[in-house]
Amino acid sequence: MVHVSATPVLALRGVSKRFGAVQALTDVELEVHAGEVVALVGDNGAGKSTLVKTIAGVHPIDEGVIEWDGKAVAVNKPHDAQNLGIATVYQDLALCDNIDVVGNLFLGRELKRRGVLDEVEMERRSRELLETLSIRIPSVRIPIASLSGGQRQVVAIARSMLGEPKLVILDEPTAALGVEQTAQVLDLVERLRERGHAVILISHNMADVKAVADKVAVLRLGRNNGVFEVKTTSQEEIISAITGATDNAVTRRAARSNAEAQK
Amino acid sequence: MSIEKTDKPHAAVDAPAAAGDASVAIDPRLLVREQGFAGYISEFKRKMRAGDLGATPVVIGLIVICAIFQSLNSAFLGAENLNNIFVAMVATGMMSVGIIFVLLLGEIDLSVGSVSGVSAAITAVMSVTHGVNEWVAVLAALAAGAVIGALHGFFFARIGAPAFAVTLAGLLFWNGFMLQILGSNGTINIDSDGVVGKLTTYYFSDVAAAYGLALVAVAAYFLTAFLGNRRREAAGIPSRPMSELVLRTALLAVAAFGVAIMFNQYKGLPLAVLLFAIVLVGSDFVLRRTSYGRKIFALGGSVEASRRAGINVTAVRVSVFAVAGLFAAVGGLFWASKIAAANQSAGSGDLLMNVIAAAVIGGTSLFGGRGRTWNALLGVLVITSIQYGLALQGIATPIQYMITGGVLLATVVIDSVTRKTQKSAGRA
């Protein structure tokens, strides 16, 4: 943890979300500070994606409060979230295979000079951005189709950085990546933290979570199931929080006898 | 222009991180482009090996076609025949430009043939039968083409019906519509000295016109490339070596002045060719240099990515079909000009197939996101050359169809094979 501010960049207070008869989120609390990586973990259907989408403005919340820099805000549209400074990188990458790296980075917000695309300025800024993030790709002028999965993921993350967001949400950035590619993405996550961005990282991979996250927020069946400091928590504890194994009598008994044995 | 500039070191290493920090070793996996002209050749070889053929197959094909027909009949490369090929290709070529816009989205428009017929019929009925000013009639026909295209686009983009089915319905409907407005006599002759008539019959007989156009084209190309390069150098990003720029300009100059000499040996620069050149340059500019063009490519690559990037998918789709309709109408006018009439067979027969074949032979992908409007020029040159070459030999239409079909198949096979190579080279 580099430098953590007192007021969280983003705080969710008692957020609930229903889809018809399904209660997707119930009284969820979450705090993210600047320069902090919070991993959001949970089993399939725990509500991770729904939670992220409420923050990103895709699904407006039903109850509760979203606080941004300590002030309550309304996030009803993806546009609202973007205006606040929230960038979301979804699992399916949302890049165009046939367009080059520069074109993808600036897709939908092309720089223009006298009404014409300013390729020179876009390329210069792309290089600058990739350089500050220490991203290595073969060339900024080759189509995305030529890049490996890891390179595509870093380009997608870099794309989210163009708007200088305060909070970056990464939805399973290392799923389907190889060992080295995963390392590249995790390096990039650390660099985001060093630059003072708040990061929410959704992951199924405990090794990744242990490697880069400062805190782990566990969701289970749409509710909070604990927030852990990564440094002081074992992988087993997190997993049992995810699977709900902490809730049964056997684990409680095991935990009790363990504690007594240690005294 | 100084050739010595080639020896100056350029920022040819195309790696962002390595460019700024000399102490960092260059990752061996990065593409490092050698400096100067050798770099250009090695880059070209690498692209060929990776299956990134671009326009190479079609250019080779065109040379082969010319060689074969020239050996069969020495009149083929004569000024008159070449001139006729250039003028005749414009109708199909204009429509092909429109279809390339649609193909870039990864969609298809089967109605362009019928829409071109409607455009010719509207112009003829308004100006000849009802005596409306011919300019007004032409504008009405073009507007009708764009509106018809937008209507197809609406059913596709807004209602969600497949473009194939919508435009197939359009093919039938607009053909019937054309027959209806042409009325019982079926053929309306057009004044060959009128606006539409002159489209394919007017020549700038002054030799300065063709040479002037060639000169302007070469100079404009060199200047834009040179100034672009200077800006890139000033911004500290890789630029093309001067030698490459000079070589490209020289190649263009040879082609442009060669064609200009050919035109001047016959009747001078044809108006139709001038208009086609303007359309090609303009549409290429729109596709590659404006954010509208970027949106079309983005939609051809990934609709979901485009939507998330804030692109109004429906609006772009509707507008692209309107563009296809507009160019179909333009093509219809050139077609009517060529036969000096609007008749019942306008826009039928092999026209639609030739329009799509020209785009694909020229190198436009049927799967969207890949292609340039220059493909229309190359493709339509191939198709029209085959038609005129065979006509010179007195070979009948059935053989023409079979040969054109064969060329189209060959193109698609090359496209599919290179796509496989591209996949294995990680560039698909």
- B141-178 tens-digit pLDDT: 999 999 999 999 999 999 999 999 999 999 999 999 99
Check residue B16 and give its pLDDT: 41
Interchain CB distance below 8 Å, B30 and A143:
no
For A22, A106, B329, B333, B346, the CA distances from B339, given in Å and listed in that order, are 68, 48, 16, 10, 10
CB nearest B290 (choices: A96, A107, A117):
A117
- What pLDDT is recorded for position A5? 56
Contact of B352 with B171, CB cutoff 8 Å: yes
Q: Determine contact: B232 vs chain A, CB below 8 A.
A: yes
CB spacing of A107 vs B294 below 8 angstroms: yes
Closest residue, chain B, to A141 (C-alpha): B14
The residue-averaged pLDDT of B78-97 equals 94
ipTM of the complex: 0.81
Residue B136 CA to its chain's centroid (Å): 27
Grade residue B17 by pLDDT with cuts at 50, 70 and 90.
very low
Helical residues (DSSP H) of B183-290, grouped into ranges:
195-201, 207-234, 242-265, 271-289
> What is the C-alpha separation between A151 and A133, in angstroms, rounded?
13
* B17 neighbourhood in chain A, CB within 8 Å: 130-131, 134-136
List pLDDT tens digits, range A36-95: 999 998 888 888 888 888 898 888 889 999 999 988 998 888 888 888 899 888 877 678
B14 with A146: Cβ contact below 8 A: no
* Cross-sheet strand order for the sheet of A215-220: A86-89, A167-171, A198-202, A37-42, A215-220, A223-229
Whether the CB-CB separation of A197 and A35 falls below 8 Å is answered with yes
Tell me whether B103 touches chain A (CB under 8 Å): no
Q: Which of A92, A98, A135 sits opposite B300 (nearest CB)?
A: A98
Q: Helices B351-361 and B79-104: crossing angle, nearest 10°? A: 80
Q: Do residue A123 and residue B311 have CB atoms under 8 angstroms apart?
A: no
CB contact under 8 A, A117 and B289: yes
pLDDT band of A1, cuts 50, 70, 90: very low
- Cβ–Cβ < 8 Å for B242, B6: yes
Model's pTM, two decimal places?
0.84
Q: Which of B298, B368, B426 sits opposite A146 (nearest CB)?
A: B426
Q: Tell how far CA A92 is from the center of its chain.
A: 14
Does residue B150 belong to the interface with chain A, where contact is any CB pair within 8 Å?
no
Interchain contact, A93 vs B305, CB within 8 Å:
yes
3-state secondary structure (DSSP) of residue A227? strand
Query: What is the DSSP-derived secondary structure letter of residue A143?
Result: B
Contacts B300 to A, Cβ<8 Å: 96, 98
Closest CA relative to residue B306, chosen from A137, A60, A97, A118 = A97
Q: What distance in Å separates the CA atoms of residue B377 and residue B59, rounded to the nearest whole number?
A: 11
Query: Per mean pLDDT, which range of B158-172, B379-393, B396-410 is the poorest?
Result: B396-410
- Amino acid letter, residue A101: V
DSSP A248: S
Q: Which residues of A touch B (CB under 8 A)?
A: 90, 92-99, 103, 107-110, 112, 115-117, 120-121, 123-124, 126-127, 130-131, 134-143, 145-146, 148
Position B12 confidence tier, pLDDT thresholds 50, 70, 90: very low
Query: Strand, helix or coil at A7?
Result: coil
Q: What would the mean pLDDT of A166-181 be, rounded to a whole number?
A: 85
Write the residue in B237, B297, B308 that is nearest to A98 by C-beta.
B297
The nearest CA of chain B is from the CA of A98 a distance in Å of 5
**B30·A135 Cβ contact <8 A:** no
Strand A71-73 and strand A167-171: the pairing is: unpaired
pLDDT in tens, B89-124: 999 999 999 999 999 999 999 999 999 999 999 999
Residue B274, pLDDT above cutoff 70: yes
CB contact under 8 A, B235 and A140: no
pLDDT confidence of residue A247: 57
Q: What pLDDT, in 10s, does the model give residues A15-31?
A: 999 988 888 898 989 99
pLDDT at A81: 87
Nearest-CA distance B10 → chain A (Å):
16
Check whether A193 has a pLDDT greater than 70: yes
Residue A192 structure tokens: 């985001």
Assign B398 a pLDDT band (cuts: 50, 70, 90): confident
Other Cβ atoms less than 10 A from the Cβ of B398: the count is 8
Q: For residue B127, what are its two tokens?
A: 């100006």
Give the residue on A whose Cα is nearest the Cα of B27: A136
Q: Is B290 on the interface with A (CB under 8 A)?
A: yes
Of the candidates B372, B378, B379, B369, the residue with the CA atom closest to the CA atom of residue B107: B369
Q: Do B291 and A140 touch (CB under 8 A)?
A: no
What pLDDT, on a 0 to 100 scale, did the predictor assign at position A254?
64
Of the two residues B30 and B334, the one the predictor is more confident about is: B334
Max mean pLDDT among A10-24, A105-119, B281-295 falls in B281-295
The residue of chain A nearest to residue B239, with distances taken between CA atoms, is A120
Which of A84-98, A245-259, B70-84, B256-270 is predicted least confidently?
A245-259
- A145: chain B residues, CB-CB within 8 Å: 422, 426-428
CB-based contact B294:B115 (threshold 8 Å):
no
On average, the pLDDT of chain A sits at 85
* Contact status of B280 with chain A (Cβ, < 8 Å): no
CA A199, CA A106: separation in Å to the nearest integer?
22
**Cross-strand partners of A117:** A112
Using 50, 70 and 90 to split pLDDT, how confident is the model at A204? confident
Q: Min CA distance, A164 vs chain B (Å)?
A: 16
Predicted local confidence at residue B52, as pLDDT = 64
Per CB-CB distance under 8 Å, the chain B contacts of A116 are 289-290
Minimal CA separation from B57 to chain A, in Å? 21
**Residue B359, pLDDT above cutoff 60:** yes
Answer yes or no: is pLDDT of B69 > 60. yes
What average pLDDT does the structure give for chain B? 85
Report the chain A residue with the minimal C-alpha distance to residue B310: A108
- With cut-offs at 50, 70 and 90, classify the pLDDT of residue A152: confident
* A227 CA: distance to closest CA in chain B (Å): 31
**Does position B268 have pLDDT exceeding 80, yes or no?**
yes
Model confidence at B331: pLDDT above 90: yes
- Please tell me the distance in Å from B103's CA to the nearest CA on chain A: 14
Chain B: residue whose CA lies nearest to A93:
B305
The answer to whether the CB atoms of B14 and A140 lie below 8 A apart is yes
Which of A97, A98, A120 shows the shortest C-beta gap to B231? A120
**How large a percentage of chain A has pLDDT more than 70?**
93
Query: In the prediction, which pLDDT does B2 show?
Result: 38
- Give the closest of A124, A126, A138 to B31, CB-based: A138
> Is residue B31 within 8 Å of residue B42, measured between CB atoms?
no
Tokens, residue B221: 């190309």
Encode pLDDT of B290-303 as tens digits.
Answer: 999 999 999 999 99
Task: Identify which of A99, A134, A145 has the shortest CB distance to residue B428.
Answer: A145
CA B394/CA B65 separation, integer angstroms = 16
Q: Where does residue A221 rank: exposed (0-12), middle (13-18), buried (19+ CB within 10 A)?
A: middle
Question: H helices of chain A, where?
Answer: 48-56, 78-84, 101-105, 119-132, 149-161, 179-194, 206-212, 235-243, 249-262
Are B306 and A107 a contacting pair at CB < 8 A? Answer: yes
Q: Give the pair of three-digit tokens for residue B136.
A: 């007004």
Q: pLDDT value at position B40?
A: 67
Which residue of A93, A127, A145 is in closest CB contact with B237? Answer: A127
- Give the span between the Cα atoms of B317 and A107, in whole angstroms: 17
Residue holding tokens 């046939």? A98
Distances (CA, A) of A237 to A1, A200, A233, A241: 21, 20, 7, 6
Chain B residue with Cα closest to A142: B427
**Closest to B11 in 3D by CA, of B34, B27, B28, B40:** B34
Q: Which residue has the higher pLDDT, B350 or B259?
A: B259
Closest CA to B124 of B112, B114, B138: B138
